[in-house]
Amino acid sequence: MRPQTQRVHSGRLRRTWERIRNEPGFGKNVAVVTALVVLAASVGGWILGNQRFTPPWDDQKIIYATFEGTPGISPGNGQEVRIAGVPVGEIRSVEVNEQGNAKVELAIEPKHDVYDNATVVMRPKSPLNEMYVLLDPGTPAGKPLSDGDTLPVTASRRPVQIDEVLAHLDGDTRHALSSLLVEADTALTSAPQKLPAGLASTNAVLRDLKPVVRSLAQRRQAISELVTALGQISRAVGEDDVRLARLAASLQSTLGTMGQRSEELDSVLAQLPDMSRKLDRSMNAVQALSGQLNPTLDNVRAAADELPDALESLGKTSDKLGSTMDTLGPLAKKARPVIADLRPFSADATASVRHVQRFSSYADPVTELLVDHLDDLGAFVINTRSLTSLTDANGGITRAQLTFGVNQLPIKDSSSEQEGR
């Protein structure tokens, strides 16, 4: 700008400022107008910010999504496009394409890549059916979308509206549903006082019904498996007519053969009761035998439990016996000459034992006679240490010797009887 032009503008501002200062009320009006302009700019900026105002110079990527229907879509009102719940753009416009579907223009930030395997879903933002579009950008396995590309209708889903659900109900059902809502409104009037107890009772009933529901679910699963198996069998049978015809022919032949052998079959069936009785008796006998075998098996089991210890003891005994035999071997060799010398003496000892045995038969009466004099005999033996000693601890004493024979004893005459023995 030239210096002369700057001086002209400076003069104008100076004259305007002088006019504002000198003219009464003009400065106040200018201040009010300035405040209103600032306030309007602030409010407009806040409104545009909340309405997601996009300035014309903003750089955004435009893609199109095709829906079967777009209830609750209002372009230009700041309805969002979100990725993973984060706003990344807005809905610009919506129109109907040649196939009768809704074609929605989506403006998103260019830093987000979108692929041809992406999906779009319409979700309600509030109970007032205010919608937003949830965008899943897809994976790098797909082809990246350029500015202006369109996602097909197969990549989109929309929420089911309540009126669409009610439209499938007939008039009586809608009337009953309306009555139910009215009665529910009346019933919920005293909900804070009565509803907790009712919910607790409902919880108890549902807890009691849980096993029933589980059983019904298992039964449903079993029925489903049965129906599936029957379907597979029917399908397999239906696809093999030749085998089915062969099976029917075989069944008919079998039934015909059984009809021809009916008399033999009747005779066999008549023998079954007697056979069952014999089998019953055999089973009873086997049961009795098993009852007798059980104690025997218990004893055998107990003996088998004790057998290892007995075998171990026997092994130890055999070891000791072996060592004893090893020790007795040399002794036996040394004892052989002595035994040979004792053999003649054993014959004489046998003859002597016979005489002693004969004499011992007289010992019983003698012993009976001496029982009453054992005390005196004991004293006599103690005092008489030797038949040749003339003194003892008490000094000298006259000794005597008593001699008697068998014939002098008062014994009954049984010599002939004893000799007979």
Per-position pLDDT tens, the chain of length 421: 455 566 666 767 777 777 666 666 666 777 778 888 888 888 877 776 665 555 555 678 889 999 988 887 888 777 889 999 888 888 888 999 888 899 999 988 888 889 989 999 988 887 777 888 999 999 888 888 888 889 998 888 877 777 777 777 788 888 888 888 888 777 777 777 777 887 888 888 888 888 888 888 888 888 988 888 888 887 776 666 777 777 778 888 887 887 787 778 778 777 777 878 888 888 888 787 777 777 887 887 777 777 778 778 877 887 787 777 777 777 777 777 777 777 776 767 776 767 666 666 666 676 766 666 666 666 666 665 555 555 555 555 555 555 555 555 555 554 444 444 4
Specify burial of residue 135 (Cβ count, 10 A radius: 0-12, 13-18, 19+). buried
Residue 31, token pair as written in the block: 């201040």
CA distance 286 to 365: 69
Angle at 10 between CA 7 and CA 11, to 5 degrees: 85
CA distance 67 to 96: 10
DSSP assignment letter at 409: S
pLDDT of residue 7: 63
Q: Is the dihedral of CA 325, 328, 333, 336 positive or negative?
A: negative
Question: What SS3 class is residue 8?
Answer: helix
Residue 186, token pair as written in the block: 């009346």
**Where are the strands (E) in 233-334, listed by range?**
none
DSSP assignment letter at 115: B
Domain parsing of the chain, residue ranges:
3-50, 61-166
